[in-house]
Structure 1
Amino acid sequence: MPRDTLTREQIVRAAIEILDAEGVEGLSMRRLGTRLGSAATAVYWHVKSKENLVVLAGDEVWGEVELPDPGEVGWRTAATTMAHDTRGMITRHPWLVTAMSTHLMYGPGKARRDDHCLAVFETAGFVGVEADNASQTVLTYVLGTALSEVADAAWRARLRRNGGDEEAQMREAMTQAGEIAMRFPRLRARIEAWEDADSAAPPDQSFEIGLKTILDGLEAQLTARPTPAG
């Protein structure tokens, strides 16, 4: 495809497809050009570098996060929806966390989400830096809980590139981790408890519990404020 028939939007969308499947390490201008039926030089003409392309792709996926109106649904519902939607976006695009550790991920898509999140916490009653801190606390929790899923996806992508057997290596790693954990009494007790299928909370339930705890704590800060005199 000649460079004058390519668009930046086409390039970014194709890059996201490669990143989703292979991670940041799997993305190259040559591979992207092949996917688009174009020379790598034509891709460079539109996006300048792989580094710039990763930033563009990262900002594009931030634009997928839903932005509910806190005035209509309430601040807690809006914050909860955004947290779940952000986690879902990250698990769909697991390369994003890795990219955020090496690139400054900021553009219209990320700014749109950040601005709306501040509006949510301002609706709750947080002011200035308080709203910044509340927003950052929730985002940090979301990123942290998604990290294990992201790490697993990155590991599997690397195995695919190297031609490894994902399932066999996963079983071997889990067996080794279990043998180590059994040496420690509290970890051993948890492993034995997890053998009962009813005792282990599903990941979504665990996420919900943690998010509720954070929002409860933020709400408690608001209710603990002294009533203004007068």
Structure 2
Amino acid sequence: MPPQNPAGHRAEAPKSPQPPQPIPSVWTRPRSGREQPALSRDQIVAEALHLLDSDGIDALSMRKLGTRLGAGATSLYRHVANKDELIELAIDEIYGEIEVPGSPDSATWRADAVHCAQSLRGTMLRHPWIASVLGEMGMSYLGPNAMRLAEGMLALFTRAGLPTTEADQAASTLVAYVTGMATTEAAYLNVLARSGRTEQEWVNHVRPTAEQAAEAYPHLRDGYAEQRGKDPRASRDTNFQYGLDRVLDGLETRITH
């Protein structure tokens, strides 16, 4: 008979602790051994990237992807559990495009950092849809290509002379700058793609309204006037390099300290 408390009520049996719930990510679950010979996960990811690059994140669905591959959505679920996993895989595939210099020479750390930063920015701008999901896909950083990038960046700043903890902070600072700038640029390029205009056409279309709005603000007015006639893409490159140089200037004070 179950024990009773002094008031005559049956005492509740203690609840057993609930096991921790697994983190939902393609990188935290075992890969299924039930592969369909006619369709591989690599094929699925490659076609997903084509779809994402051409039509954007909103166009991606398991059903549409299955149609493009000539297979039903059920076949895709044998390789990826859901759309979020597919995006994680696509993001890591993109990370594989980023060049991480492996130079053993500590004297070249700054040139190597510039090369890696420019490669990261260029990769993000080739796949501008990534701007809308990168901040939400925290587990994407567990993929093999993301780990390769992180290891390369740590090695770069460790070779430069920083201790491991500060090398990690330096790498995070550099990646945060590049990602922030490139995310803004990628969102802008998405707008351009939807408009059907080239970047120069878009600037020419918007400039008169922007200059009129800035008429009462002398610093803004002078800034718009200075940019008139310049190649907008070249201006973006110059602005990116300016910020990158200032970030590296700051890190250099720690490396040569």
Q: TM-score interval w.r.t. the shorter chain?
A: 0.7 to 0.9
Q: Which sits farther off after the overlay, 130-139 or 205-214? A: 205-214
Q: Aligned-pair RMSD on alpha carbons?
A: 2.6
Alignment partner of 1:100 is 2:130: no
| Mapping of residues 2-17 of structure 1, within 5 Å | 3-17=36-50
Residues 62, 83 of structure 2: 8 Å contact kept: yes
Residues 70, 77 of structure 1: 8 Å contact kept: no
Partner of 1:110: 146
Match of 1:141 among 152, 156, 177: 177
Give deviations 1:161-214, integer Å, cap 9, x for gaps. xxxx5339946655544432333221111111222549x963223322322222
Partner of 2:167: 131
- 2: distance between equivalents of 1:189 and 1:223? 38
Change (3 A) 1:178 1:19: farther
Match of 2:197 among 164, 167, 190: 167
Q: CA deviation at 1:132?
A: 1.3
Partner of 2:71: 38
Alignment partner of 1:26 is 2:59: yes
Residues 64, 89 of structure 1: 8 Å contact kept: yes
- 1: distance between equivalents of 2:234 and 2:220? 16
- 2: distance between equivalents of 1:84 and 1:177? 30
Match of 2:224 among 160, 168, 191: 191
Residues 96, 145 of structure 2: 8 Å contact kept: yes
- Bigger helix share: 1
Q: Which sits farther off after the overlay, 177-186 or 105-114? A: 177-186
TM-score, normalising length from structure 1?
0.84
- 1: distance between equivalents of 2:85 and 2:208? 41
Greater RCO (Cα-Cα under 8 Å, separation 6 or more): 1
- 2: distance between equivalents of 1:182 and 1:111? 49
Q: Look up the equivalent residue of 1:89 and give its one-letter code.
A: T
TM-score, normalising length from structure 2?
0.76
Match of 2:97, SS state, is: coil
Q: Which sits farther off after the overlay, 131-140 or 181-190? A: 181-190
- 2: distance between equivalents of 1:181 and 1:167? 24
Alignment partner of 1:223 is 2:256: yes
Change (3 A) 1:53 1:7: same
User: Tell me, which stretches of 5 or more residues in structure 2 are unaligned?
Assistant: 1-34
User: Tell me, which stretches of 5 or more residues in structure 1 are unaligned?
Assistant: 160-164, 225-230
Residues 121, 135 of structure 1: 8 Å contact kept: yes
